[in-house]
Amino acid sequence: MKKRQYKIKSFINNLENNKHWYIISIVYDSATYFRKLNNINDLFVRLSNSKSSIIGQINNRLYWKKISPSGLYQSILTEENLILNFIIETNIKLNELEFKSRIKKICPYILIKIGYQEREEFDKLVNTYFSYQQNIELFGEAKRERLAI
């Protein structure tokens, strides 16, 4: 657990050194989400590794490879809603409409908010990410990062 917590803190502390970073929050109706997907992590798996695509575009797996994202996401489940909060860094700037379309095709959402390098949104979420009780998943380089302890 300590290694994982260190990786989370390291990712957050180094975020502003990266070219492109986003705070993304997606709100789903819980019933709709779990009718379409098996578990909370299924959205991430389908976005990053499925052969599904939107019309005229490359499949999700190739798209994910192209943007080469790294980061973390947290899920908050209530009786009515599932909220997925992402902090993502990418090699290239996201086409927000394309990203929203890919997410919506996997499962229709109630609301999606994408903030590009918004310090205020970052500050709001960062305290939550330091909490040991939260369900946080790392991905990309943030997950693979070797620890220099």
Domain-embedded: residue 122: no
Domain CATH for 63: 3.30.70.1910
Alpha-carbon distance 89 to 6, whole Å? 18
Percent pLDDT > 90 in the chain is: 50
Dihedral sign computed on CA atoms, order 6, 12, 15, 16: negative
**What's the mean pLDDT when you consider all of the chain?**
86
Q: Domain range holding 8?
A: 2-116+136-144
How many distinct structural domains can be found in the chain?
A: 1
Domain-embedded: residue 125: no
Alpha-carbon distance 71 to 141, whole Å? 7
Higher pLDDT: 31 or 128? It is 31
Q: How confident is the model at residue 37 (pLDDT cuts 50, 70, 90)?
A: very high
* pLDDT the model gives residue 131: 56
Identify whether the C-beta of residue 138 lies closer than 8 Å to the C-beta of residue 72.
yes
* pLDDT the model gives residue 128: 61
* pLDDT the model gives residue 112: 97
93-101 mean pLDDT: 94
H or E stretch covering 6: helix 2-14
* pLDDT the model gives residue 148: 47
Alpha-carbon distance 83 to 88, whole Å? 16
pTM: 0.87
Domain-embedded: residue 27: yes
Domain-embedded: residue 29: yes
